[in-house]
Structure formats: structure tokens, C-alpha cells
Amino acid sequence: MRHFDLSPLYRSTVGFDRLFTMLDNATGVDPAPTYPPYNIERRGENQYRISVAVAGFAEADLTIETRENTLSIRGNRETRVEGDLTNKVEILHQGIAARAFERRFQLADHVQVTGAALENGLLHVDLVREIPETQKPRQIPIGGAQVIEARKAA
């Protein structure tokens, strides 16, 4: 049994559509894409870095976009003609993949992209989790009843 029917859960939950979509996609038969390779690093309690191997791509060939809780990294290398057209280059062996790609990452709530840099053929995307003050846990002091001083009428 490779497929789980999650439709009964749709009737009794609100706001978990994205979670169920991810579960449906995870149980699919399609294998996960392997190009380009990437690393995900934890650099602190609330800091992360995604490094994607993008050898052969220039900054102009790469697009980074966030929408809701999804980070998309796209690479599309334009065919470049260098020199004049009479000196055509014939590739005898192509081991460096330069095909177009799109890599998507699901981000947790409150995770924001803080920057990106391209160095030595690696695209580094820095992320940080910033929880709003209103959603941080807070301690409630336990105390006795507060006495409100009443002023006597003069």
C-alpha cells in the first residue's frame, strides 16, 4: 500500500491544507529531484543556511523567490555565443550540467530570508527564524489578589 487516503481528515480540520498537500506529494511515486545538489546547515539556534551547487551559473542566471512559506531557487542559463559565429565551439564531452532547474524548500512559520551570496560556484541563502514578541512564550507571575485602594469621599 503506497497511498494513504487523507480525505477524512480534510472534513475535520481547518488550516492544514498545506500540510496535507505535502503529505500527498511525499507519498507520490515520483522520485525527489537530485539536481542541483544542496546542503542545509544550522548555524545557530535560529539561523540556517541553504547552499546550492550552481557551477556555471552567473548571478544573472539565478532567481530566488519566497512566496508564503516556500523558497524557490531557479536557474536558467542563457545560451551564450562568444566570439564571432564562424568559430563554433564543439563540445566533445559535457560533464558540467548547466540545465535549467527549480528547487523548492518549505519554510517553517516565521522563517525569513536575510540574504544570498554566490561564491565559488555555491549559492548561499541565509535564513533566520524571527518569532514575533506576541507569539513568544511569556511567564505569568503567580501572586495574591491585588488590592485596589479606594479613596474615601471627603
Quote the mean pLDDT of the chain: 78
- 98 and 58, same structural domain? yes
Q: What percent of the chain has pLDDT over 90?
A: 27
Q: Residue 46: which CATH number?
A: 2.60.40.790
- 123 and 48, same structural domain? yes
- 117 and 67, same structural domain? yes
- 124 and 73, same structural domain? yes
For residue 46, being part of any structural domain is answered with yes
- 23 and 44, same structural domain? no
- Residue 68: its pLDDT value, please? 86
Contacts of 64 (CB under 8 A, 6+ apart): 71, 72, 73, 74, 113, 116, 123, 125
Q: What is the pLDDT of residues 17-49, one digit of tens each?
A: 666 676 666 665 555 677 889 999 988 888 999
- 62 and 4, same structural domain? no
Number of domains in the chain: 2
pTM beyond 0.95: the answer is no
- 43 and 25, same structural domain? no
- 127 and 65, same structural domain? yes
For residue 39, being part of any structural domain is answered with yes
Q: Is 9 helix (H, G, I), strand (E, B) or coil?
A: helix
For residue 116, being part of any structural domain is answered with yes
Q: Can you say how many angstroms the Cα of residue 36 is from the centroid of all Cα atoms in its chain?
A: 15
Q: What is the pLDDT of residues 42-93, one digit of tens each?
A: 888 889 999 999 988 899 999 999 998 889 999 998 765 555 555 677 888 8
Q: Can you say how many angstroms the Cα of residue 127 is from the centroid of all Cα atoms in its chain?
A: 8
Cα R_g (the chain), whole angstroms: 26
- Residue 1: its pLDDT value, please? 46
- 98 and 22, same structural domain? no
Domain residues for the domain of 19 are 1-30
For residue 49, being part of any structural domain is answered with yes
